[in-house]
Structure formats: C-alpha cells, structure tokens
Amino acid sequence: MFRTIVPLGALILAVSACGGGSTGALGQTQVRAECDPGDVVCLQSSVAPLARGATLALDISSLTQGSAAVDLSLLSADEVVARVDGDAVIGGEPGVTAVLFLTPDGIVLDFIHLTVAEPTALVVHRLTDDGESVAELEGRVQLLVGETFGVSAALRHQSQDLAGKVAISWQTDPEIAPLLDSGSLGRKRILARAPGRTVLQARAGGLITEIPLEVLP
C-alpha cells in the first residue's frame, strides 16, 4: 500500500469547472475527476471508470460540518488495480478498489470505490476554437489551406468513456497537415498547409484510430 499527502485546501481551490462528482461512501467528501474544461470525462455525472494505464487526479472537497480543510493522504486498498501517486491514482489491472482519504494521523475521513477498465476504443474528438469538445470524428475531414482544426482523444470501454489522462501519440504527413502543440496533454491542432491527402493517426493504450484528412486548395 502506498500513501501520499494531499493538501486538501489546495484541492478545494483547484475545483474544476465541470459539475457532478461522486459523494464518498461515508457522505463526508465530494470527489471529482480533475480535468480541463471541455474534457470528455468532465461530462460524467460521477467519477467514470479509470482506464488501465491512465492517471486520474482526484479533486476532494470535505463536506464535514464545522471543520476547516485538512491535509489528506490517499490509500489504495488494492495496488494491483490502482496505485496512488501524489493526488492522483493510476489504473492497473481491471477491477475494483477502494481509495481511502486519510488524515495525517491515520483516521479515515471517507473513501470511494474506483473501477479500472481495459480500454477497447480510442475516439478522436473535434474541438472548437475555445477547446470545447463538439463531436466525435468518424469520417473524412476536409480542410482548406490555412485552416486549423483542434482534436483531442479519449479512451472508451465498450460505449463508456473512461477517465484519466494517457500519453497520446499523434501523426500526420507534416508536408500536408502538420500537428501543432496546444499546450494541453492529449490535444493537438492540425494546420492545413498544402493540398493533398493524409491520415490523422492517434495512438494510446495499445489502440490506434485513423481519420482520413484531405486538404483542398
């Protein structure tokens, strides 16, 4: 078992813009998956299953009455399923494990049960200019020279979106449509540079998704 100290006060200040979340089993905390506004996992009403190999930062707010925030440490009941790293948990073998929130003197404030699932699909989403995910890309994308196009990717188990961040590897033909960093893990911008055809390839968790791209003059 692995323990790490999480400053709860800092976590409360870091409440993400997305709503929902899960209440702890003892009803004494509110737990959300920390994510960027517009991330697909933010649309979940509760903490979604964690993808194997993905990292999920937990945003924990205390619901106890009359008590100020305290530093909490996380403790995973089954490190084979999920291990703790700072204020985050990392998905291991598919299964269920309790994640306990402990005070510095080892008292349990609350806990949640987290499910880890094997990703079965990698879906690529189109982003708006302000970074919101608007649609899942399924067919060919056509761009005019000079246009840019934001994309992100998320892992799924069957039809369920999975939580957690993973390293995503992106590829296109840089002569036709180079990929630009967007400053956010898992997001890229495609620049339509020269007329031609290429393929946008996303790789993560052993899965590959390809989207045909065509740049028109």
Output the smallest distance, CB 9 to other proteins, in A.
17
Closest CA to 6 of 81, 120, 89: 89
Selected from 23, 64, 160, 171, the binder of other proteins by CB under 8 A is: 64
DSSP character string of 39-106: -GGGG-SSPPPEETT-EEEEEEEE--TT----EEEEEES-TTTEEEETTEEEE-SSEEEEEEEE-TTS
Q: Among 32-40, 57-65, 130-138, 167-175, which window interacts with other proteins (CB under 8 A)?
A: 57-65
Tokens 């540079």, residue?
Answer: 193
Q: Is 97 a binder of other proteins (CB under 8 A)?
A: yes
Selected from 36, 71, 78, 214, the binder of other proteins by CB under 8 A is: 78
Output the smallest distance, CB 25 to other proteins, in A.
4
Local structure of 50: helix, strand or coil: strand
Q: Among 4-12, 33-41, 77-85, 148-156, which window interacts with other proteins (CB under 8 A)?
A: 77-85
CA atoms of 196 and 95, how far apart (whole Å): 45
Map the footprint of other proteins across residues 98-127, applying CB under 8 A: 98, 100, 102-103, 106-109, 111, 113, 115
Q: Is 183 a binder of other proteins (CB under 8 A)?
A: no
CA atoms of 193 and 146, how far apart (whole Å): 6
In the complex, the residues that contact other proteins under the rule CB under 8 A are 1, 25-26, 28, 63-65, 67, 77-78, 81, 95-98, 100, 102-103, 106-109, 111, 113, 115
